[in-house]
Homo-oligomer: A and B are copies of this chain.
Amino acid sequence: MSDERPDPGTVRPGGRTAKTREAVLRAAGDALAEDGFDRLDLAEIARRAGVGKTTAYRRWGTVPGLVADLLTEMAAESLPRTETGTLLGDLTAQARLVQSTLSDPRQGPLFKALITAAACDAQTADALHRFYRTRTDEWAPCVTAAIERGEVPAGTDPHEVIRAVSAPLYYRLLVDGGPIDQPTADRAARAAHTAAKAGAFTS
């Protein structure tokens, strides 16, 4: 990374650089949600954000660089997990959060565009995988707590349980086009919970 592109962590919060970044990432998210990734253009995003084209090119370099930074920001800003006291309650909360995100008129197309962009570019794929690692790490402790309470067997892989809850919802978004509704979310949570209790996710 060149000296001219500050690491996100070093940006003074609320400063001019931070405001520029916020405006450009917002415009990038809007463009992705509205037009998909295949029509993404760095100069057009800078224009929408009211930021100089040169600034955008100097800071992000390329569209994949910008999309990677958007994913970093999304990981930092994403919601903390819900703690309900039972594993089924926690997994249902996780499933409903994924469901409401993927069925949201802005967020659904945005996630589809980000995943599509990752399929076409290695840098974006790395950033996407880091984003999902962050989200899985956030929710995994609900399974660890369930192991400690004796709700699921020792040796259960927390990350596998969390992925099992999300997978059917992403499958509908990306693969078979089925409805991403609350019954689907609740069924995904119930299926993962039942399988976890029976030891299907022990390694």
Copies in the complex: 2
Binds B, one of A9-17, A43-51, A124-132, A144-152: A124-132
Contact of A163 with B174 at beta-carbon distance under 8 Å, contacts A116-B120, A191-B195, A194-B198 already known: no
As a 0/1 sequence over residues 25 to 48 of chain A, the CB contacts with chain B under 8 angstroms (1 = contact) are 000000000001110000000000
A129 neighbours in B (Cβ, 8 Å)? 176-177
Q: Does A58 contact B (CB under 8 A)?
A: no
Q: Does A18 contact B (CB under 8 A)?
A: no
Interface centre among A120, A132, A195 (most CB of B within 10 A): A195
Residue of B nearest to A38 (CB): B120
A107 neighbours in B (Cβ, 8 Å)? none
Chain A positions within 8 Å of B, measured between CB atoms, are 36-38, 112-113, 115-116, 119-120, 125, 128-129, 132-133, 136, 160, 163-164, 166-168, 170-171, 174-178, 187, 190-192, 194-195, 198, 200-201
